[in-house]
């Protein structure tokens, strides 16, 4: 089972190296690392190349469009994704292989530890995943810590929404996977560390704009 890891980026020179170090120090190595870059003007691209990553330059801006460019480039059966400010544990790839080998699933999500928030715990993400499952009746994937099969991606890639102002791209992807009857597994042992910088830098956006956009997305997807 081959695994492609995709990292959508824009101007992430301060964070990308730590992410790539974690991916290159895996107990079981990824088969390829793809950095999808949306016209960074800093050293992001050079850092990615220094780690031997495949770099897609001049990707369309917007997280969904940049992600899609990386996913479409992926060669292998499983497409894992994290963010540039994600630090994965050494067994991250190994855990993905375990879940996709031992169960019939189309996507995988696990808890996140926000390493720069006051309490370094998975509790925040576990509450979020639980509330989403109660509201939607299926699991949702989260961009910093996820994997999907290439087979399901090929089925939904022309259906997913791509305008960031209209949707949360990872939850939107979950909607489309679920619509096809795909299985999204939550694995409590599939853990990644990521930054809470977006919450810290703009709490108003996170606690007000985020829920409003989520409700708009529910209506547009007939939930």
Whether the predicted pLDDT of 171 surpasses 80: yes
Whose CA is closest to 143, among 219, 68, 43?
A: 68
3 state DSSP class of 126 = helix
Model confidence pLDDT, tens digit, residues 11-55: 999 999 999 999 999 999 999 999 999 999 999 999 999 999 999
- The pLDDT-based confidence of 212 (bands split at 50, 70, 90) is confident
**Helix (H/G/I), strand (E/B), else coil: 85:** coil
Give 143-197 as a DSSP string: TTBEEEEHHHHHHHTTTS---TTT--HHHHHHHHHHHTT--EEE-TT--EEE--H
What value, to the nearest 5°, has the Cα angle with vertex 191 and ends 84 and 127?
A: 100
| Three-state secondary structure call for residue 74 | coil
Fold (topology level) of 3-220 = Spore Coat Polysaccharide Biosynthesis Protein SpsA; Chain A (3.90.550)
Mean pLDDT value of segment 165-169: 90
**Pairwise CA distance, residues 174 & 24, whole Å:** 28
Would you place residue 210 in the very low, low, confident or very high pLDDT band (cuts 50, 70, 90)?
Answer: confident
Q: How far apart are CA 125 and CA 132, in angstroms?
A: 10
How many percent of the chain have pLDDT more than 90? 83
pTM equals 0.95
Q: Mean pLDDT for the chain?
A: 94
> What is the reported pLDDT for 124?
87
Looking at residues 145-173, what average pLDDT do you find? 95
Q: What is the pLDDT of residue 200?
A: 64
> Is residue 137 scored above 70 in pLDDT?
yes
Q: What is the pLDDT of residues 83-127, one digit of tens each?
A: 999 999 999 999 999 999 999 999 999 999 999 888 788 998 999
Contact 166, 174 (CB under 8 A): no
Torsional sign, CA 6, 171, 110, 208? positive
- Which residues, 6 or more positions from 46, have their beta carbon under 8 angstroms from its beta carbon? none
pLDDT at 145 over 70: yes
pLDDT grade for 198, boundaries at 50, 70 and 90: confident
pLDDT at 10: 97
Q: What percent of the chain has pLDDT over 70?
A: 96
* Rg of the chain on CA atoms, in Å: 16
């Amino acid at each position: 089972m081959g695994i492609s890891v995709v990292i959508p980026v824009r101007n992430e020179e301060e964070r990308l190296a730590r992410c790539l170090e974690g991916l290159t120090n895996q107990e079981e190595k990824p088969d390829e690392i793809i950095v999808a870059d949306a016209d960074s003007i800093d050293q992001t691209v050079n850092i990615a190349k220094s780690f031997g990553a495949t770099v897609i330059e001049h990707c369309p801006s917007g997280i969904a469009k940049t992600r899609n460019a990386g996913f479409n480039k992926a060669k292998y059966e499983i497409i894992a994704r994290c963010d540039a400010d994600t630090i994965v544990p050494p067994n991250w790839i190994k855990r993905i292989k375990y879940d996709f080998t031992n169960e019939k699933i189309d996507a995988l999500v696990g808890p996140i530890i926000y390493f720069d928030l006051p309490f370094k715990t998975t509790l925040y993400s576990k509450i979020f995943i639980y509330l989403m499952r109660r509201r939607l009746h299926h699991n949702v994937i989260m961009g910093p810590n996820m994997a999907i099969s290439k087979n399901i991606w090929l089925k939904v890639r022309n259906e997913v929404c791509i305008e960031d102002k209209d949707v949360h791209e990872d939850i939107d992807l979950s909607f489309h996977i679920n619509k096809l009857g795909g299985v999204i597994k939550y694995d409590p042992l599939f853990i990644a560390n990521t930054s809470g910088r977006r919450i810290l830098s703009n709490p108003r956006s996170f606690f007000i704009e985020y829920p409003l956009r989520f409700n708009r997305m529910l209506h547009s997807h007939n939930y």
